[in-house]
Structure 1
Amino acid sequence: MNKDNNQPPSLWDVAKSVMAGFLGVQKSSHYERDFTHGKPWQYITLGIIGVVIFIAVILGIVNLVLSLAGV
Structure 2
Amino acid sequence: MQPAQEMFRRRVVQAALRLTEGTPMAASTYEQQLLEQFVCGQLTIEEVIRLVDAAPPAPGWPPGPAPAGR
Q: Same fold (TM over 0.5)?
A: no
What TM-score does the superposition give when structure 1 sets the normalisation length? 0.30
Please identify the structure whose Cα radius of gyration is greater: 1
What TM-score does the superposition give when structure 2 sets the normalisation length? 0.30
